[in-house]
Amino acid sequence: MSDPIAQLIFLIIKAILVPVLIVMMVAFIIFFERKFAGFFQGRVGPTYLGPWGSFQSFGDIFKLLSKEDLIPAKSDKPVFRLAPYIIFLPAFLVMAVLPFGPVGGEANLFGYRFDYVIANFDAGLVLFLALGAIAVYGVVLAGWSSNGNFSLLGGLRAGAQMISYELAMGFSVVGVMLMANSMSLVDIVEGQAGNFWDWYFIPQVVGGLIFFVATLAELNRTPFDLAEAEQELVAGYLTEYSGMRWGIFMFAEYVNLVVISGIVSTLYFGGWRAPLEVLDFIPGPIWLFIKICVFVFIYMWVRWTIFRYRYNQLMSMGWKVLLPLSILNLVVTAIVVSVAG
């Protein structure tokens, strides 16, 4: 078997395995979200289905599948049907550029080279930002096509929120790009080789924090969950959705949660690399899994702790605080990188 054919087989295996594993992970993350929410609130969370209630997500899926699919009579039906997938697809596509182990080098599997990334894409970071921006269309179109007031308000809020945060997010990751001298996520992880003090979160602490805040907005989670603010807009852009269509939105949200946790750990926390070089014997995917779990937990923690911002406060924070800070961070990084290296 020649190398290109082996690579093709590997690619197919990876392209099936990675999404399937992440989907399995998501099922349990939804369960853990509910369980942790219970613990934060002095409750026990789900307990009935399966050991320790751990099959709750599967119960939810069956419930959603068996529910009637309601589509409002006056909605824009093709767009209404399309919107969930516009959110769903980008969340999955980002997985392609996320490295979960070493890439390149010698043959490591049955005499062939196995790259621990689906697509070693030169502009992986740009792809991530672009796909994040596409997902917003899903939210806006869902809100608009539902033909409901609360949905429309939710969709518009999401649109405005994304515009104000994507910029700060984009500028904050440019700092990482400059330090790694590459836009490929594989190279960014290579740039963080060594121990945990070589990771980018130390030189890029400001950029990292801005990126983290912006991902909260990107994920529509609590301080910035304006688009589906339950207490104000009932469920925002999701108000008119029911059954599995609603389920797809929720599912995409959690896939996004995993993927963005992966991106945060890749950009600032060494990706699949072990925190200390002596721990390198543990394979990369496991380290990445641990890091993703840690960040998912942090996102949950934030969600169940913090209040929600008001719409105009969020906008002014995005434009007046995060954007100038991220530009400053970029300028300082550029000067330091060009002087030092």
Partner 1 sequence: MSEARPTLEELKRRKALSRQRVERSGEVMTVSMGPQHPSMHGVYRAELDLDGEVIVAVRPEIGNLHRGVEKLCEERTYHQIIPITDRLDYLASFVMNHGYCEAVEKLMGVEVPPRGRYIRTLAAELCRIANHIMWLGIHIMDLGTQTFFCICFRDREYILDLLEMLTGARLTHSFGRIGGVAKDLPDGFDRRCRKVIDFLPRRVAEYERIVKHNRIYYKRAKGVGIFTSEDCFAWRVTGPPLRSAGVARDLRRDEPYAAYDEMDFEVAVEYNADVYDRFLVRMKEIRESCKIVRQCLDNLPDGPFVASDAVHALPLKKNVLRDSAAMIQDFYQVFQGPLAPKGEVYRAIEAPKGEMGVYIRSEGGAHPARIHFATPSFYHGQAVPPLVEGEMISDMVAIFASVDVVLGDCDR
Does 297 bind partner 1 (CB under 8 A)? Our answer is no
DSSP secondary structure letters along 141-177? HHHHHTT-HHHHHHHHHHHHHHHHHHHHHHHHHHHHH
DSSP secondary structure letters along 229-268? -HHHHTTGGGTT--HHHHHHHHHHHHHHHHHHHHHHHHHH
Does 252 bind partner 1 (CB under 8 A)? Our answer is no
Does 40 bind partner 1 (CB under 8 A)? Our answer is yes
Candidates 76, 122, 190, 232; binder of partner 1 (CB under 8 A) is 232
The CA-to-CA distance between both ends of the chain, in Å, stands at 44
Give the residue carrying structure tokens 């590997």.
Answer: 10
Return the number of the residue (165 or 287) whose C-beta is nearest partner 1: 165
Candidates 294, 308, 336, 337; binder of partner 1 (CB under 8 A) is 308
Q: Which of 299, 281, 262, 114 is nearest to 185 (CA)?
A: 262
Does 312 bind partner 1 (CB under 8 A)? Our answer is yes
Return the number of the residue (44 or 286) whose C-beta is nearest partner 1: 44
Rounded Cα–Cα distance for residues 224 and 215 (Å) = 10
Candidates 60, 187, 225, 240; binder of partner 1 (CB under 8 A) is 225
Helix axes 124-145, 243-268, angle to 10 degrees: 150
Phi, psi for 182 (deg, rounded to 5): -160, 155
User: Min. distance of Cβ 106 from partner 1 in angstroms?
Assistant: 51
Give the residue carrying structure tokens 């060594």.
Answer: 194
User: Min. distance of Cβ 150 from partner 1 in angstroms?
Assistant: 7
Does 149 bind partner 1 (CB under 8 A)? Our answer is yes
Candidates 5, 202, 305, 335; binder of partner 1 (CB under 8 A) is 305
Does 37 bind partner 1 (CB under 8 A)? Our answer is yes
Does 126 bind partner 1 (CB under 8 A)? Our answer is no
User: Min. distance of Cβ 218 from partner 1 in angstroms?
Assistant: 18
Return the number of the residue (115 or 228) whose C-beta is nearest partner 1: 228
Is 69:81 a contact under the CB 8 Å cutoff?
no
User: What x/- string results for residues 152 through 171 when contact with partner 1 is judged by CB under 8 A?
Assistant: xx------------------
User: Min. distance of Cβ 192 from partner 1 in angstroms?
Assistant: 32
Is 247:69 a contact under the CB 8 Å cutoff?
no
Total residues binding partner 1 (CB under 8 A):
29
Sign of the torsion formed by the C-alpha atoms of 87, 89, 90 and 95 = positive
Site for partner 1 in 61-120 (CB under 8 A): none
* Site residues for partner 1 per CB under 8 A: 37, 40-43, 149-150, 152-153, 222-223, 225-226, 229-234, 304-313
